[in-house]
Structure 1
Amino acid sequence: MDFSEVLYKVSQHSLGVLGGQSLPKKYVHLDLSETNTDFLKYDLSTSLKFGQFVDQYLMRHGADVAYGGYLEVRNIYKRSSYFNTVDQSNRNIHLGIDLWSPVETPIFAPIAGTLHSFKNNTNFGDYGPTIILEHLYDGFTFYTLYGHLSLASLEGKVVGQKFEAGTKLGTLGDASVNGDYPPHLHFQTIKDIQNYTGDYPGVCAKEELEYYKKNCPDPMPLLKLKK
């Protein structure tokens, strides 16, 4: 059984990280890839303009949450040298899914897990406050990452802390702490966490894609979001 099959079998029902089943929401897909010519018409050079774009998109579609982004090739990372350093090739392929929702939206553990690590990743364009949970299902260990949280989300956290499914992990942060983005959750599944703590690559270069596709498969088979 491969990792994607494990994620699918964890639950037969939709698993929400934005309040679970107690807070039903309407989801709409948002394509931020470089091939979306409609998206490229907008000026998203600042988090303010980017946020206005997301708010207008949600309003037009009558939705509460915009989601998407797995394996999207995105131009938005060009604004940060963090993704384009001398010792790394251009990293612009997104490895998780983003859930765009208002600041302070509560974030919940979709399944039971143990707090593996947490950290405030402060690079421009980075995750900001981040939590990683470790999960054990049917003898299979894997990890889920929650990025772009509020600073308060890290307060009182202890490595090894247990979280039941539906337990609140934190809230979404604003642009001042979340890497300078409109509020959203970066949610990613990881098979091998390697030696990372409180962080894991959420964007990769084309040359690395085959490895990361296997180690970080699409989270949608786990969440099964109701669109």
Structure 2
Amino acid sequence: MPLSSFEDLLQSLHSHPLVDPNIAFDAYVPLDLSVDNPELRGVDVSNSKDLEIFIWNHISKHHAQVAFGGYLERRAIYNRSTYFNQEDPKEARHIHLGLDIWIEADTPIYAPLDGEIHSFKNNTNFGDYGPTIILKHYIQDFEFYTLYGHLSLESLNKMKVGVEVKEGEQIATLGTADVNGDYPPHLHFQVIKDIQDYKGDYSGVCNQLDLEFYKANCPDPNLLLNLV
């Protein structure tokens, strides 16, 4: 039977892991960075070092190697940056649209699917992605995009639009807080159906007013990654 939706397609694909494929499935632990997590009440989430300590303590406590999560989480961390905040509180962006993979800086990042380099850019606003790569995919009559944010500066070296990328090919490494928008090292991974006119960038956080649009345009990345 033909696939009935883009989400069905994502679920049907067998993607390559974004990080080391030798890391066992049970070495991944979910991480909640939402405003509803009581464990964060004593953590200064605006301080990347304090947040990093919390994340690594969480990983260690669960005897894991990688933490993941964050799709549609309402987060306080974006309150620190004027890039996400507006004068009207209703327009403040604090709802996370991607899935984060929390692991050490310099970790290699791999393409989950065949595709090509759509665009790349160093997004330098405070709290932004830092170095970012976007891949374009065309599978079973669906054209879509995947975004990789918070990379190392070296990841953008020798990048060229239109270059073919194979599933499982290393495309980048993770950056440190001094280049990745001032966050603990992690990958922001996002699936985008219609990238509009964006190049090297796309909203990874939205406000409540725009949530329904972004939910439709940026479905849950875990449909593809299948981490839980």
TM-score (norm 2): 0.94
1:143 to 137, 142, 145: 145
Which residue of structure 2 lines up, in the alignment, with residue 178 of structure 1?
180
Q: Which runs of 4+ in 1 moved over 4 A?
A: none
Alignment partner, residue 12 of structure 2: 9
The CA deviation at 1:23 is 4.2
**Secondary structure at the counterpart of residue 41 of structure 1:** coil
Instruction: Please list, as runs of the form range in 1=range in 2, the aligned pairs for 1:119-138 lying within 5 A after superposition.
Output: 119-138=121-140
CA deviations on 1:31-76 (whole Å, 9 max, x unpaired) are: 0111111222222231111111111111111111100000001111
Aligned AA for 1:4?
A: E
Q: How does 1:74-113 map to 2 (within 5 A)?
A: 74-86=75-87, 89-113=91-115
Looking at structure 1, the residues matched to 60 and 52 of structure 2 have their Cα atoms a distance apart, in angstroms, of 12
Q: Is the 8 A contact 1:10 1:137 kept in 2?
A: no
| Counterparts of 2:36 and 2:22, CA distance in 1 | 36
Q: CA deviation at 1:86?
A: 4.4
Tell me, yes or no, if the aligned pair for 1:15 and 1:224 is still in contact at 8 Å. no
Computed over aligned residues only, the root mean square deviation of the Cα atoms, in angstroms, reads 1.4
Choose 56-65 or 198-207, whichever is displaced more: 56-65
The answer for the alignment partner of 1:32 in structure 2 is 33
Cα distance in 2 for partners of 1:165, 1:15 equals: 6
CA contact (8 A) 2:112 2:168 kept: yes
Distance 1:3 1:82 in 2: 31
- How far apart, in 1, do the equivalents of 2:51 and 2:160 lie? 34
Match of 1:152 in 2: 154
Name the counterpart of 1:212: 214
Residues 16 and 110 in structure 2, CA contact (< 8 A), matched pair in contact too = no
User: Is residue 162 from structure 1 mapped to residue 174 from structure 2 by the alignment?
Assistant: no
Q: Secondary structure at the match of 2:61?
A: helix
**Identity between Structure 1 and Structure 2 (%):** 54
3-state secondary structure, aligned to 1:73: coil
**Which amino acid is the alignment partner of residue 204 of structure 1?**
C
Residue 135 of structure 1 and its aligned partner are, at CA, apart by: 0.4
Alpha-carbon contact 2:16-2:167 (below 8 Å) kept: no
Counterpart CA distance in 1 for 2:23 and 2:39 is 31
- Aligned residues, how many? 223
8 Å contact from structure 1 (residues 91, 205) kept in 2: yes
The residue that corresponds to 2:116 in the other structure is: 114
Q: Secondary structure at the match of 1:152?
A: helix
TM-score normalised by L of structure 1? 0.94
CA contact 2:17–2:112 (8 Å) conserved in 1 = yes
SS of 1:143's equivalent in the other structure is: strand
The one-letter amino acid paired with 1:73 is R
